Amino acid sequence: MEINVIIFGKLIDITGSAAITINNVADTEQLNEQLHNRYPALTGYPYLIAVEKEIIQGNTPLKNKDTVALLPPYAGG
Amino acid sequence: MQERKPKNIFIQGPIASSFIADSIQKHSSKTDIGGHSIFLGQVRADTIGEKKVSSIEYTTYEEMAIEKMYTIREDIFAKYPLTCMHVYHSLGKIAAGEICLFVFTSSAHRKAAIDACEETVERLKAELPIWGKEMFEDETYTWKENK
């Protein structure tokens, strides 16, 4: 089980990378847990999660090779 | 109704006034149009603390933004009797005073164009995954957040 995580905006300052791979997670809750363990500073920042370009609400199951995006508050326009 | 496909709205660098002028000119053959509405977003030199913003560096999650913009476009066309709509957003470093957003709606009568333009601007600011790094003159930065 391999999840591609892509990171944007301010969150890149925390992870130091715009793309990382997370293994062995079954859903977005487990993914978040692993991310927070790896990057403790992430806990304090607000962000939305998109699975395959769709913003999700609540815990969502993940499939192998899914792309999950971490989206901090938008600033377009 | 004509079928609309997802269009790439992104332009690398600032939006030139000549590009905007050409875009207006292209509509002269569409004689069913009676009114255009245009919104231009310009990078503002905000003062944050003691420092002044000299530019904003825009990035996006492009595939998602283009899909989302397509949904917004479909919704706006379903709601207002528009003839056409064009949206362009800059990516990369845009200096204070330069144009970073161009929204252009046209309709037979003014009200639809004006209302559709306003609603499109509000929705894209809230819904498109775009981020802005506000760069100060001393090379430090802060992340912009839409209110």
Across the beta sheet with A54-55, the strand order is: A19-23, A2-7, A67-71, A48-51, A54-55
CA torsion, ordered A53, A59, A65, A71, to nearest 10 deg: 40
Residues B110, A66: Cα–Cα separation, whole Å: 45
Taking only the tens place, the pLDDT of each residue in A20-55 is 999 999 999 999 999 999 999 999 899 999 999 999
Taking only the tens place, the pLDDT of each residue in B42-73 is 999 999 989 999 999 999 999 999 999 999 99
Give the gap in angstroms from C-alpha A71 to the nearest C-alpha of chain B: 7
Q: Are B89 and A53 inside 8 Å of each other by CB?
A: no
Give the gap in angstroms from C-alpha A42 to the nearest C-alpha of chain B: 15
CB-CB neighbors (< 8 A) of A19 in chain B: none
Residues B32, B28: Cα–Cα separation, whole Å: 10
Asked if the model's pLDDT at residue A1 lies above 90, the reply is no
CB-CB neighbors (< 8 A) of A77 in chain B: 41, 89, 100-101, 121, 124-125, 130, 146
pTM here? 0.94
pLDDT of residue B141: 96
Identity of the residue in B61, B63, B144 whose CB atom sits nearest the CB atom of A75: B144
Residues of A engaging B, defined by a Cβ cutoff of 8 Å: 6, 8-10, 50, 53, 69, 71-77
- The complex's ipTM works out to 0.95
Give the gap in angstroms from C-alpha B128 to the nearest C-alpha of chain A: 7
Residue A27 corresponds to which amino acid?
D
Which residue in A has a C-alpha nearest to residue B127's C-alpha?
Answer: A74
Question: Across the strands, what pairs with A21?
Answer: A4
Average pLDDT over residues A52-77: 97
Residue contacts between A and B (CB atoms, under 8 Å): 64
pLDDT of residue A44: 85
